[in-house]
Amino acid sequence: MKLDKSFYLNPDVVAVAKQLIGKSLHTSLNGKHSSGIIVESEAYSYKEKACHAFNNKRTKRTETMFQEGGKAYIYLCYGIHHLFNIVTNIKNKPEAVLIRAIQPIETAPKKCTSGPGNLSKYLAITTSLNGVSLTGNKIWLEEGNQLPCEVSKRIGIDYAQEDALLPWRFTAKDNQWISK
DNA sequence: TAGAGGATTGAT
DNA sequence: TCAATCCTCTAC
């Protein structure tokens, strides 16, 4: 059961990030289908410094986040890693959920989906998918059983000062696939 | 047009 | 703990 567009339009990005734990992510790219259960996510909002679109900072890169929820926002980090985000909220309210780890449904080598960079590599996600709709047939999410989750502060955003302390990271409890 | 830095990773 | 690595943004 593919997630409806209304799910992504939720104005509470933190709630969306939490609800995403346990749902499944699917890609059908280059004739190959990949999928996994989302076990780790982080919320980002224009209201706080860690977000690229903080204070409505609109650039070519962040443009996708200003679009209506239900789109894929993918960007390159450290010149190496493709990071996959789910855009939420309505148009001109840039908020997104970073998917940090999934648990593969098919058999897969361990650790290959732990961390946003590896995750994107496993799913064949590249920046060419930036702006692609999540209700289409290239990349989409499906309904799943909500997993018990734990809350913690986000990772790798120390530059955001006090906002780095926000408990906006969600992980599936006792799951071996989450990043360290 | 040049310089600085980053939502990371994997090896030391 | 630290360096690799290159795209993006900002300042001049």
List, run by run, the mean pLDDT of 10-residue segments along chain A (180 residues): 96 98 95 94 95 93 96 94 97 97 84 88 94 96 96 92 94 91
Q: Which nucleotide is nearest to A60 (CA to C1')?
A: C8
Q: Return the pLDDT at A113.
A: 85
How far, in Å, CA of A110 to CA of A31, rounded?
A: 23
Secondary structure class of A112 (helix, strand, coil)? coil
Q: Which residue is nearest to nucleotide B5 (CA to C1')?
A: A78
Q: Return the pLDDT at A94.
A: 96
Neighbour tally for A151: CB within 10 Å: 12
Instruction: Mention every residue, 6+ apart, whose C-beta is less than 8 A from residue A109.
Output: none
Q: Return the pLDDT at A177.
A: 92
What pTM was estimated for this model as a whole?
A: 0.95
Average pLDDT over chain A reads 94
Say which amino acid occupies A140: W
How far, in Å, CA of A171 to CA of A149, rounded?
A: 5
